Amino acid sequence: MTTRKHALLLFSKPPLPGEVKTRLTREKGGPFSEEEAAEIFRRTMFDVSELCCLALYEMEQESKAEVAANPAAAPKSYDFFVSTTPVENVEIIKHTFEEIGEWPRHFTYIADRGRSYDEHLQDAFQQIFDLEYDSVLYVSPDAPLLPREHVLNGLRWLDYFGQTSSVGGVVQATTQDGDVCLIGWTRNADIDHLDVTSDQRGRPPLDIYLGKAADKGIPLITLPPVLGFDDINDFAQTVTQARALRYSQKYQPDLYLPIRFLDWVDWRGIKVGNPPA
């Protein structure tokens, strides 16, 4: 029985000062130094990666249970890819992950190429599909509130579409402003990332991917939106929500907490308040 291969992709810059989360910096009107903004990004990247490791392990156990119950069922494998650019940054981001210790699974590091963000992401997908993976699911490295269920359900939907749809399928989730924080599709889906962030009409990525899928009649699943942050207002909401999740975990023990992110904001003594009316 041929194994169905699925890939989870973290597409990221290294967390270097001045390169990431610059809208949070004092240079752009925010409260943080470039070094602090990079540390925020580094911690969210680690939290998201740990969440993904847990989800991939859960999917592997689910596949083993399916095969045990039905030996005729196709086994499934799940691999974690980290893509960055240029090629010199591969060793930087690899070292960034390894310097905090051993991770619970193997990461495959690749360098993506292109002239724009869209081309780089498209190239990363294509490199993985060229390795004969049946689906690729991208997750954003700076979405610390991404639910584990989004990753699990994204992978389940892609496996389902890969087995039942002649035109494949797409799954996506966006942040509150329409930016994509999770998106993936099957190898047989005729869709791409090109001209999404560079759209001249100012359409949000959600609408563009939806249009690409609808034009080809490709099934598309949209998961509930996820709170993301680029500016200080979104950051404040993320802090508040993360702290609420930490309290709720007492009663919902299966919740995943972005603990590295929370540890830093607590250590920094960050307090969130509303401006007076």
pLDDT digit string (tens) for 12-30? 999 999 999 999 999 999 9
Which pLDDT band, with edges at 50, 70 and 90, does 200 fall under? low
What are the pLDDT digits (tens) for 132-185? 999 999 999 999 999 999 999 999 999 999 999 999 999 999 998 888 999 999
Residue pair 138/192 in contact (Cβ under 8 Å)? The answer is no
Domains with residue ranges and CATH for the chain: 4-267 (3.90.550.10)
Distance from the Cα of residue 177 to its chain's centroid: 16
Classify the C-alpha dihedral 83-149-230-21 as positive or negative.
Answer: negative
Please choose, from the candidates 67, 105, 182, the residue with its C-alpha nearest in 3D space to the C-alpha of residue 136: 182
pTM above 0.75, yes or no: yes
Scanning the structure block, which residue is given the tokens 């998106």? 183
Alpha helices in the chain (DSSP H): 34-69, 88-98, 117-130, 148-164, 205-216, 232-248, 259-267
Segment 27-47 shows an average pLDDT of: 96
